[in-house]
């Protein structure tokens, strides 16, 4: 934390609170107009079938070169 503060140049007395959060690779998609759709949480396993099909078709290899991630159905 000290190293982060030193590099940021922020006065520690200006910090009111520190929080931690974990995301877990959920999906936040946009519609055709660019508006956000409801998020799909990473614990939602309904996508297992399609993700298995994508894995067999090599979709994960295609996405990996762009975002260093492969689709997976849930945690």
Least confident range of 42-46, 49-53, 65-69: 42-46
- Buried (b) or exposed (e) across 24-53, using 16+ Cβ within 10 A? eeeeeeeeeeeeeeeeeebeeeeeeeebee
| pLDDT score of 25 more than 80 | no
Q: Comparing 56 with 23, which gets the higher pLDDT?
A: 56
Contact of 43 with 10, CB cutoff 8 Å: no
pLDDT at 39 exceeding the cut of 80:
no
What value does the mean pLDDT of the chain take? 85
**The two structure tokens encoding residue 31:** 């519609």
């Amino acid at each position: 934390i000290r190293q982060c503060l030193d590099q940021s140049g922020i006065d520690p007395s200006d910090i009111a609170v520190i929080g931690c959060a974990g995301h877990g690779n959920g999906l936040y998609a946009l519609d055709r107009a660019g508006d956000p759709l409801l998020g799909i949480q990473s614990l939602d396993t309904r996508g297992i079938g399609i993700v298995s099909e994508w894995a067999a078709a090599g979709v994960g290899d295609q996405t990996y070169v762009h975002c260093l991630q492969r689709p997976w159905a849930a945690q």
